[in-house]
Chains A and B, each alone.
Chain A
Amino acid sequence: MAKIVIDEIRCKGCGLCTLACHGKLLSLSEKINIQGYTPAAITFPEKCTGCALCAEMCPDVAITVFK
């Protein structure tokens, strides 16, 4: 069991986390946050392994990982 939480307010939609996930579970969503960016979102959260590589990659420390 693993889970990530993306801070949708802090996320700047840079997309760097999407490069880090081996399972390609992350993509940018269509919605626009208060900063005007499209925050990252996880598809198939049940496939997340909690490896935390997405969080390591995020320049804005917008991802928290639980395992």
Chain B
Amino acid sequence: MQQVFKRPISLKDVQTHFCPGCHHGTIHRLVAEALDEFGVQGRTIGVASVGCSVFLYGYFDIDVVEAPHGRASAVATGVKRARPDNFVFTYQGDGDLAAIGTAEIIHAANRGEDITVIFVNNTTYGMTGGQMAPTTLVGQKTSTSPYGRNQHKDGAPIRMAELLAQLEGVAFSARVAVNNPKNIIDAKRQFKKAFRYQVEGKGFSFIEALSACPTNWGMNAIAANERVGSEMADYFKLGVFKNTDNM
């Protein structure tokens, strides 16, 4: 018998702190698989953000810079410009990228920085106890929207993948989910496309991954996983919004 499924070498063989059923773990694995696939582990610099994925350096067997909250795309800009031969990606939550870091992501994308951004949308500020994020769905109860998000007061959830796709500097933008094997296989394909853009020096690539946060959604892992495919994917449609090479 041969081993047909194993841990990617770019992912350290350690226990994570993620809650049971948290999709951050799956998304970490897919990023590590794509690093392995392109053979860039030895020259990769990851840029971690603030949020539940803050321990990126503990889980990936690569070099990692820790960015202040929201600033990962700006930090990655500096890293990539100083070291253009390195593969540079950021890994950012929705509180990080779509709230405090909105200016940084829009301008990094608009400048067409040659970096890859992994955006993990779990419709909440996971690490700090489930506050409302710009991505929180209308009606969703959080610790700062106890009666549910009110569109008139709070606006409608931001669709980052579509928004960034409109910018000239963006070469690739897609949204994926990891809530069932079919979506996971498709997500792998999109991660590889996104990574290829940077490996070939073709500009800014963006992947939004829908992610379950069972703990702050007040659900068990199975119910939270189900919500990703129903309520979340209904509003945040999966798909490729820009693919300049049409790969």
Contacts and interface: CB of A to CB of B under 8 A. Distances in A.
> Chain A: interface secondary structure?
loop
A33 B111 CA distance: 50
Nearest to A21: B181
Given A15-B220, A61-B7, A67-B1, 10 more contacts: A15-B21, A15-B222, A57-B26, A57-B180, A58-B26, A59-B25, A60-B15, A61-B11, A64-B3, A64-B5
A50 B26 CA distance: 19
Contact of A56 (B5, B19, B214): B5
A63 B6 CA distance: 8
Nearest to A5: B3
Given A14-B21, A19-B225, A67 B184 contact: no
A14 B4 contact: no
Contacts of A20: 180-181
B220 to A, nearest CB: 8
Contact of B222 (A1, A16, A64): A16
Interface in A5-56: 10, 12-16, 19-20, 37, 50, 52-53, 55-56
A12 B21 contact: yes
A50 B7 CA distance: 16
Given A15-B222, A20-B181, A60 B5 contact: no
A19 B20 contact: no
B222 A2 contact: no
B156 interface: no
Contacts of A67: 1-2, 4
Interface in B110-155: none
B16 interface: yes
